[in-house]
Amino acid sequence: MVADSAHWALTIPSDLRLLPLARAFVEAVCNVAGLNETQTHQIVLATDEATNNVMRHAHRDRPDSPILLQCFVHKDCIEIHLLDEGDPFDVHEVPLLDPAEVRPGGRGVFLMRRLMDEVSTQPRRDGGNLLKLVKRLTPPTILGSTHLQSGKR
């Protein structure tokens, strides 16, 4: 079991071949936290899209640029932070797309917004960006806290 709050981190180079490693890392954190399969899939997919976007756009396929993935598991939510070294980016400037619109590309932010409860960016003081993805969870989804507090097994 995980404490009421836990933190894990993984740093990887900006190499598209490492996307499976990023997905496996986030999936493992979700499993340790006790999330169900649907929530885990949503979080992993949103993080995959975010990591892919950082690699392709923020780092412009520069495999030497690191991406730091941080997973914060709290009693009521899970937060995924991606820290990159790219040019400033504001996710709120990405227009809301009509899901029926057929066109190549531009679906990553749409998917992140659909799958997560919060998607935000902010510039880092040392350069680059922090992308924050938040999925709110309701007990007993995470950490088994409701079952333990209520005495149920």
- How many domains in the chain? 1
How many whole angstroms separate alpha carbon 143 and alpha carbon 123? Answer: 32
> Would residue 1 count as lying in a domain?
no
Give residue 12's pLDDT. Answer: 97
Which CATH number does the domain housing residue 74 bear?
A: 3.30.565.10
31-82 confidence digits (pLDDT tens): 999 999 999 999 999 999 999 999 988 898 788 999 999 999 999 999 999 9
Average pLDDT rounded to a whole number, residues 128-142? 82
Q: Which residue has the tokens 């350069």?
A: 127
For the record, the structure tokens of 131 come out as 């992308």
Radius of gyration of the chain (CA): 16
- What residues have CB less than 8 Å from 38, skipping those under 6 apart? none
Stronger pLDDT, 144 or 134, i.e. the higher one:
134
Q: What is the span of the domain harbouring residue 84?
A: 6-150
Q: What is the β-pairing status of strands 118-123 and 129-136?
A: antiparallel
| Residue 117 CA: distances (Å) to CA of 39, 50, 54, 65, 151 | 12, 15, 20, 28, 30
The answer, yes or no, to whether residue 90 has pLDDT greater than 80, is no
Average pLDDT rounded to a whole number, residues 14-39? 96
> Would residue 117 count as lying in a domain?
yes
100-119 confidence digits (pLDDT tens): 665 555 677 888 999 999 99
